[in-house]
Amino acid sequence: MNWMGRHVLGLLLAFSVTAAAEAGPQGVVRVDGHVLTDTDGPFLGLGATYMQALRHCKFDRERLHRELGFLSSCGFNYVRVLSMVDWPGQEIAPVPHQNREGNPVAAWPDYDAQLTELVDMVHSHGLRAQVTIFADAQWIMPDARTRREHLERVMRVLAGREEKIILYEIANEAWQNGFPGDAGVGELRELGREAARRSPALLALSSPFDMENRAEGLVRLYAGSSATIATMHFSRDTRGEMGAWLPVIDCRVFSRLEGLPPISSNEPIGPGSSVASEADPVMILSAAAFAFLSGLPMYVFHSAAGVKAEESFEDMPWLRQFGALSGLLPRDLPNWERFDSGSGGNPLTATAPDVPPLYQCGARKGRDFVCLLLALPDTGREFKADKALSFSTHALPSGERIGRTSVKKGEVFTIKASSTASILKGVLKS
């Protein structure tokens, strides 16, 4: 591209940022029960991991605008970004340090400006930022005093931009990023208190330590803390009896633990994720729907594109189907009354519940209900209506309506779909 082309592109990007900024999301994000709210009311928190965003802000703004614009067009409303990282050749360096390979890394002299400009650009695309403050802290700033100074610096630099921040997260997977053991828990909680004192934005500490009893890990880290959201990295294990469905449904048992903040599915299985990966849009859209139906206010799409940016989000055009899902689900869904396959409040029951596999969850508000059916066979499944009801069936991942059904109480009927996962959205008849 010649100098004239670059100049024109720069003017176009600047104009688009200025124009879009006026339409960015408004108001400081709060949590009401298990639902996020801002000036426009309740909304489902749908995010995407974008760990190289700050580096792209400094070195590749054209790509940053392209990626943010695409994610916004897909229905995402925030991105999860890192304020530091020590990947050789891809560092984000707020301070000078020696990297994991023993090589010196200079601090970015314009770090503060890059951070503020990133948050502004994210907002200009109709998104907010989840700012994860510490990553690779054991290499970049192993000293506790330097860490506190960095947290204070981030909070000071971003002060006044609270409506552009959906969440501060103290550390990414803290136990392996410089905060191990009991001392690490104590340091996280202390940094959390300082962050809460300095900003009204929502606050999380980290995903809980990698313990066999994950509920205990959540309580150990979050109970009695200053956090208003608990970020958790759910299972990516696909080797067990439930196979690929376990990462979809793993959040259910943790979603309403007493005495803890609402939970964000912060780094779920996705295309190119570590341990195990999942590239099937049906499974990924199902996991997002399952999270919101389970009472989680936030879900983050996690992928290799969002970690080291070795590919673009635009290489996954199916991500646009997240927008259809967001439009299908009620904005206050995480606060609805939950039900499972065999629990009270479920308006339809499988006639052969012991025939695997079938995973069903749902939620009700008054006469309205939403139900997610997973692992549907090609032949469909037979259900009995516990109440008179009317509903539409939507196949994932597209969310396309494939049928409308009205049944009487006690009536037996079959649900068939072109996908292994479907959403039922309906109303109980009086």
Residue 236 in tokens: 């990516």
Q: Copy the structure tokens of residue 78.
A: 């925030």
What is the C-alpha separation between 122 and 119, in angstroms, rounded? 5
3-state secondary structure 340-390: ECCCCCCCEEECCCCCCCCEEEEEEECCEEEEEEECCCCCCEEEEECCCEE
Helix then strand count (H, E) for the chain reads 12, 22
Q: What is the pLDDT of residue 349?
A: 87
Place of tokens 């510490």: 134
Helix (H) / strand (E) containing 48: strand 45-49
Reported as type and span, the H/E element at residue 285 is: helix 281-293
Tens digit of pLDDT at every position of the chain (430 positions): 454 444 444 444 444 444 444 569 999 999 999 999 999 999 999 999 999 999 999 999 999 999 999 999 999 999 999 999 999 999 999 999 999 999 999 999 999 999 999 999 999 999 999 999 999 999 999 999 999 999 999 999 999 999 999 999 999 999 999 999 999 999 999 999 999 999 999 999 999 987 678 899 999 999 999 999 999 999 988 888 888 999 999 999 888 788 999 999 999 999 998 778 999 999 999 999 999 999 999 999 999 999 999 999 999 999 999 999 999 999 999 999 999 877 778 899 888 866 656 678 999 999 999 999 998 888 888 999 999 999 999 999 999 999 999 999 999 999 987 788 999 999 999 7
Tell me whether residue 78 is exposed, middle or buried, using C-beta atoms within 10 angstroms of its C-beta: 0 to 12, 13 to 18, 19 or more.
buried
- The 3-state DSSP class for residue 391 equals strand
Instruction: Find, among 270, 362, 251, 363, the residue nearest to 322 by Cα.
Output: 270
- Farthest CA pair distance, the chain: 72
In the chain, the amino acid numbered 186 is G
Retrieve residue 400's tokens. Answer: 């396309």
- Say if residue 101 is exposed, middle or buried (CB neighbours under 10 Å; 0-12, 13-18, 19+): exposed
pLDDT at 258: 87
State residue 430's pLDDT score: 73
pLDDT value of residue 1: 46
Length of the chain counted residue by residue: 430
How far, in Å, are 120, 373, 378, 384 from residue 350 at the CA level? 49, 11, 16, 6
Rounded to whole angstroms, the Cα distance separating 398 from 419 reads 10
- Give the integer Cα–Cα distance in Å for 303 and 71: 13
Buried b / exposed e over 110-141, threshold 16 CB at 10 Å, is ebeebbbbbbbbbbbbbbbbbbbbbbbbebbb
pLDDT at 354: 64
d(C-alpha 234, C-alpha 267), whole Å: 7
* DSSP conformation letters of 198-242: H--S-EE--SPP--SSHHHHHHHHHTTSS-SSEEE------SSTT
Query: What is the pLDDT at residue 355?
Result: 60
pTM score > 0.85 for this model? yes
Pairing mode of beta strands 165-171, 298-301: unpaired
Q: Are strands 412-415 and 381-385 parallel, antiparallel or unpaired?
A: antiparallel
Given this model, what pLDDT does residue 11 score?
43
Q: Which domains does the chain have, with CATH numbers?
A: 20-335 (3.20.20.80), 337-428 (2.60.40)
Phi, psi of 322, rounded to the nearest 5 degrees: -60, -35
